[in-house]
Amino acid sequence: MEESLETKKSRQACAILDLLGIDCWLIWVRETDQIVDPALQLVYSGAFVWQSALLFTRSGERIAVVGSFDAVGIPDGTFDRIVPYDESVSPVLRKELERIDPARIAIDVSESDVASDGMTAGMRAMLDRYLKGTAYVDRLVSAEEIIGRLRGLKLPEEVARIRKAVRVTEEILDELAGRLRVGLTEGEIYRMVHEAMAARGVGHAWAADHNPAVDAGPDKAFGHGGPTSAITREGHLLHLDFGVKVDGYCADLQRMYFFGDPERIPESIQRGFDTVLGAIDAAAEALRPGLRGFEIDAIARDHVTSRGYPEYMHALGHQVGRSAHDGGVILGPRWERYGTTPDGSIEEGNVFTLELEVPTEAYGQVSLEEDVLVTEDGCEFLSKRQRSLRCVG
């Protein structure tokens, strides 16, 4: 029987541990229907009720120390060793740690990467208490690099699922373009997209209340708000930020429309569009393994500011995968809010967005977003690029 994607990822986790020289990764969870460690879904699709310790080692062993009621629900082959307990997990966990005797134990805590910060304060306090008096309490380190690489180094099957999500997102956007007209409200456009998603049986790449983000005209501030009663008008722009989730993987695209004659696009709109397009071109041309995230962001940021525009107030790109914002290295500036994530190295197999916006005189923002796969010596656009304004007349 073919291994599940989660099992393949668990084996990949062990290989990453060996590459990094870390002996053990511990995912420490309970009641996962209520509080889900983002890293858990990478390696196990089920749920746990009792306190559970999943141990992955650089030697390749995968161990589940779980309650006896949870143990019976684990499919065969998911772990190499399942160690059940009834009254207390602590002696069983300590015994397993003594058996493998790791010099460093990576746990899911991180100040910089939310996708690597899945352990609650209560679970951390409990783990420290359970390990008190052992050598292992002083061997705990952050699993941030492990999780970042596990999420970021997409297996071929993961890339295929992202491609499919991108393709479906584009199909819906193409269908929508044929229905756009002057006089529609943001809410009506939003509902058209949801109808198209329902017809295809696909999910949302982020919260449904602002997926898609629909921004009609010059007065709507870009962000994470839902649709309003604003109306599309002749001579105005329409911006959409939209992505679907298919087979557990996401897409994230932004598209721009102009309501009017393509021969009469205002100069400030065209100049803004060309600037955004050029910044994405420049970043994509430079994007390759081995560079750091802030270096790629700086290329696009410099392109924008050299043309007299203010710098955009966000990262150029985030990773895409199981979540639209998939954690790990970002293509962003070294701002305090991003912690160490812009300092990480870009790797082959990463999937990033390339996105930014510039303001125009009297017409609002012009913004685009594409999804790209980092290859051996560059990057591949997974999306069909928008290289000109789509005009609605």
The neighbouring-strand residues paired with 370 are 354
Looking at residue 272, its amino acid is: G
Banded model confidence at residue 282, pLDDT cuts 50, 70, 90: very high
pLDDT of residue 14: 98
Banded model confidence at residue 135, pLDDT cuts 50, 70, 90: very high
Residue 2 has pLDDT above 90, yes or no: no
Per the rule left: phi > 0, alpha: psi between -120 and 50, beta: everything else, 133 is: left
Banded model confidence at residue 224, pLDDT cuts 50, 70, 90: confident
CA–CA separation, 283 vs 174, rounded Å? 26
Looking at residue 36, its amino acid is: V
pLDDT of residue 248: 97
**Using CA of residue 200, residue 205, residue 210, residue 214, what is the dihedral sign?**
negative
pLDDT of residue 304: 98
Enter the CATH code of domain 154-392.
3.90.230.10
With beta carbons less than 8 A apart as the criterion, state whether 149 and 174 touch: no
Residue 220 has pLDDT above 80, yes or no: no
Looking at residue 174, its amino acid is: D
Banded model confidence at residue 222, pLDDT cuts 50, 70, 90: confident
Residue 150 has pLDDT above 80, yes or no: yes
With beta carbons less than 8 A apart as the criterion, state whether 269 and 363 touch: yes
H/E stretch holding 56 reads: strand 52-57
Q: Nearest to residue 242, comparing CAs of 207, 277, 201, 273?
A: 207
pTM here is: 0.96
pLDDT of residue 213: 97
pLDDT of residue 182: 97
Residue 339 has pLDDT above 90, yes or no: yes
Residues 259-285 have a mean pLDDT of 97
Query: In terms of C-beta density within 10 A (0-12 exposed, 13-18 middle, 19 or more buried), how is residue 188 classed?
Result: middle
Q: What mean pLDDT, rounded, does the chain reach? A: 97
Measure the CA dihedral 210/251/241/332, to 10°: 100
Express each pLDDT in 24-62 by its tens digit. 999 999 999 999 999 999 999 999 999 999 999 999 999
pLDDT of residue 140: 98
pLDDT of residue 270: 98
CA–CA separation, 368 vs 352, rounded Å? 14
Percent of the chain with pLDDT over 90: 97
Domain positions in the chain are 5-151, 154-392
Q: Nearest to residue 39, comparing CAs of 204, 151, 154?
A: 151
pLDDT of residue 221: 73
CA–CA separation, 250 vs 164, rounded Å? 9
Residue 142 has pLDDT above 80, yes or no: yes
Sequence-distant contacts of 371-374: CB under 8 A, at least 24 apart: 371/162, 371/166, 371/251, 371/252, 371/253, 371/320, 372/284, 372/287, 373/154, 373/159, 373/162, 373/349, 374/287, 374/288, 374/289, 374/346, 374/347, 374/348, 374/349, 374/350
With beta carbons less than 8 A apart as the criterion, state whether 105 and 58 touch: no
43: Cβ contacts below 8 Å, ≥ 6 apart: 6, 7, 9, 10, 13, 27, 54, 56, 150
- Give CATH superfamily name and number for 5-151: Creatinase/prolidase N-terminal domain (3.40.350.10)
Residues 94-118 have a mean pLDDT of 97
Tell how far CA 135 is from the center of its chain. 36
CA–CA separation, 137 vs 22, rounded Å? 16
Residues 184-210 have a mean pLDDT of 98
Mapping DSSP onto H, E and C, the string for 258-287 reads EECCHHHCCHHHHHHHHHHHHHHHHHHHHC
Residue 144 has pLDDT above 80, yes or no: yes
